[in-house]
Amino acid sequence: MLNEKLKQYHIILASGSPRRQQFFKELGLDFEVRLKSVKEEYPNRLTHFEISDYLAQLKSLPFKENLKDNEILITSDTIVWHNNKALGKPINEEDAFNMIKSLSNSTHEVITSVCFTTKTHQKTVNAVTKVTFKNLEDEEIQYYVDICMPLDKAGAYGIQEWIGQIGITKIEGSYFNVVGLPTHLVYKTLNSLVSS
């Protein structure tokens, strides 16, 4: 349906995440994956969604000069916001264990920003989902880190994996946002871009 509206456009997804790529397929979109590495650093003054907005926009910079008239570049970034601090991807297994331990028996926010860039415009949207974990035993956390190796995930966990199945007691907002992409916002924004 949306794909029909987008037939004049070429969608570029700048993400190596298999989860995000799968979501685009499930939305019925034709797209190309293009990857360029960016150092994911942000100014200390930024907080909350400002961080993920900034990083999503930063990831678009290496592509901007070469975008063609009919191309829509999509970049995104996810962070976990907990105790007024952003949790990105863990650097090793110990870091992953400590991150999950800090989320145990509390509620945190998962924030994903998605940036849509064309040759002449840029629009950034974001979604915030609140996630509550039960009190996790150290053995449960270690088991999860050992079997799932969640080093590629913000906050060191995947809601769709074992730890989410046994540990998450409440979620407020988009589930798909926590997996890594607020699909409802992608659909809505792409619709508005081609309708405007």
DSSP 130-191: EEEE----HHHHHHHHHHH--TTSGGG--TTSHHHHHHEEEEES-HHHHHT--HHHHHHHHH
Q: Where are the domains of the chain?
A: 2-195
Q: Which fold has domain 2-195?
A: Maf protein (3.90.950)
Tokens, residue 196: 């405007």
3 state SS of 29: coil
Sequence-distant (≥ 6) Cβ neighbours of residue 135 within 8 angstroms: 104, 105
| Distance from C-alpha of 159 to C-alpha of 180, rounded to nearest angstrom | 10
Tens of pLDDT along the chain (196 residues) come to 787 888 899 999 999 888 899 999 999 999 999 999 899 899 999 999 999 999 999 999 999 889 999 999 999 999 999 999 999 899 999 999 999 999 999 999 999 999 999 999 999 999 999 999 999 999 999 999 999 999 999 999 999 999 999 999 999 999 999 998 999 999 999 999 887 6
The secondary structure of 37-76, three-state, reads: CCCCCCCCCCCCHHHHHHHHHHCCHHHHCCCCCCEEEEEE
> Does residue 95 carry a catalytic annotation?
no
Residue 186 has which token pair? 């992608």
pLDDT of the residue at 196: 62
Containing 11, the helix (H) or strand (E) segment is strand 10-13
At residue 195, the pLDDT reads 75
The single residue of 53, 77, 95, 152 carrying the catalytic annotation is 77
